[in-house]
Amino acid sequence: MVALKGEEGRAKEGEGGERVSWLGRLKAGLARTRAQLSAIFGGRGVDEALFEELEATLITADCGVEATEILIGALRERARRARINRAEELRQALAESLIEVLAPLEAPLEVGGVRPFVLLVVGVNGTGKTTSIGKIARWYQRQGYSVLLAAGDTFRAAAREQLAAWGARNGIPVISQERGDPAAVAFDAVHAAKARGVDLVIIDTAGRLPTQHHLMEELAKVRRVIQKVEPGAPHEVLLVLDATIGQNALAQLEAFDRAVGVSGLVVTKLDGTAKGGVLAAIARRLPKPVRFIGVGEGIDDLRPFVVREFVEALLADGEREG
């Protein structure tokens, strides 16, 4: 049984039940990736065959070659130093090594330093970007922040309607224009947030592929226009990544980072993939903070990324429920 020491909850005092529920959802969401890893750690000894099988499984889970080599190297050293000869003991060693690899990604997004804090959200089509914005807005609203949303996806009427529905459900105002210019929507939203004394403004953008250079340049324009009304903004550029695409997420991250300077990530759809190891690949290749992870469609299925919670859910052996 993996029991990670020093675990600290993010929930406020009195919300223990809510946190347990989140850990349960996280564990359920990572079930497919966990199943791949758990099959290796049955009642067996530690030998070269186990290391080779684990290496192949980590690569299959999209940890990436570089991160996998680091993890396997660390495991060999831990096994030698601690004289580990049971696979179950190696599971705990893997947990500790994985925590070390993923640690640079844990950095909760603090939005209270400036007002308004301007959050620009980007990504390709189909990542769950607009839905994630609604959930993030709700998260900060529950922390006591006032929020305003900007429907900067002016290409899809459905996106504007979806964002408006999220706003209506939670009593959050939404700035929108029919057939408007995305930069103009962003400008109006930031200006409105300043005038109203709003704490946080979240700007949606249309999904686009990194190869669509004119659309990537449009994002750069949105950023420049935001800076005209609020110097220093956007204070955070969040890229929403779909975990099911595995290693392709790295290519998206690199492209969007070149275009607009990504400062944080939202990783969605971890519940629908066996590629949960992609976070390890990101940590080695381009370690941007993972601000939130998503494991479902519910409003509470997107939460800040906590390394120990993630690793516990990924490597739990079934004897312990989150």
CA distances from 19 to 142, 151, 213, 270 (A): 15, 31, 42, 18
Contact predicate 198/79, CB 8 Å: no
Percentage of the chain lying above the pLDDT 70 cut: 92
Q: Which two tokens stand for residue 116?
A: 């308004």
The answer, yes or no, to whether residue 293 has pLDDT greater than 70, is yes
* Residue 160 confidence (pLDDT): 87
Q: Residues 6 or more apart from 123 whose CB is under 8 A from it?
A: 129, 207, 239, 240, 241, 252, 256
What is the Cα–Cα distance from 36 to 34, expressed in whole angstroms?
Answer: 5
The answer, yes or no, to whether residue 86 has pLDDT greater than 50, is yes
Rg (CA), the chain: 21
Could you read off the pLDDT of 262-275 as tens digits, one per residue? 999 999 988 877 78
What is the Cα–Cα distance from 227 to 190, expressed in whole angstroms?
Answer: 10
- 168, with CB counted inside 10 A (0-12, 13-18, 19+), is exposed
The answer, yes or no, to whether residue 202 has pLDDT greater than 70, is yes
pLDDT band at 17 (very low <50, low <70, confident <90, very high): low
CA 174 vs. chain centroid, Å, equals 24
Pairing of strands 290-294, 302-304: antiparallel
pLDDT band at 317 (very low <50, low <70, confident <90, very high): low
Contact predicate 293/305, CB 8 Å: yes
* Residue 192 confidence (pLDDT): 96
H helix intervals, the chain: 16-29, 31-38, 48-60, 65-82, 87-102, 129-142, 157-170, 182-196, 213-229, 248-260, 278-285, 307-315
**Which of these ranges, 18-32, 63-77, 247-261, has the smallest mean pLDDT?**
18-32
- CA angle, corner 241, sides to 239 and 247, nearest 5? 125
Residue environment code for 18-54, b if the CB has 16+ CB neighbours within 10 A, otherwise e: ebeebbebbbebbbebbebbbebbeeeebeeebbeeb
What is the Cα–Cα distance from 280 to 246, expressed in whole angstroms?
Answer: 11
| Stretch 130-134: mean pLDDT | 92
Packed helices 182-196 and 213-229: angle between N→C axes, nearest 10 degrees: 20
Contact predicate 164/174, CB 8 Å: yes
Residue located via tokens 């408007």: 180
Mean pLDDT over all residues of the chain?
86
**Which of these ranges, 28-37, 124-133, 166-175, 216-225, has the smallest mean pLDDT?**
28-37
| Stretch 233-258: mean pLDDT | 92
What pTM does this model have? 0.88
The answer, yes or no, to whether residue 111 has pLDDT greater than 80, is yes
Q: Which two tokens stand for residue 111?
A: 């939005």
Contact predicate 263/231, CB 8 Å: no
Could you read off the pLDDT of 139-171 as tens digits, one per residue? 999 999 999 999 998 888 888 898 999 899 889
What is the Cα–Cα distance from 119 to 121, expressed in whole angstroms?
Answer: 6
What is the Cα–Cα distance from 109 to 228, expressed in whole angstroms?
Answer: 24
* DSSP per-residue letters across 233-264: --SEEEEEEEGGGTTHHHHHHHHHHHHH---E
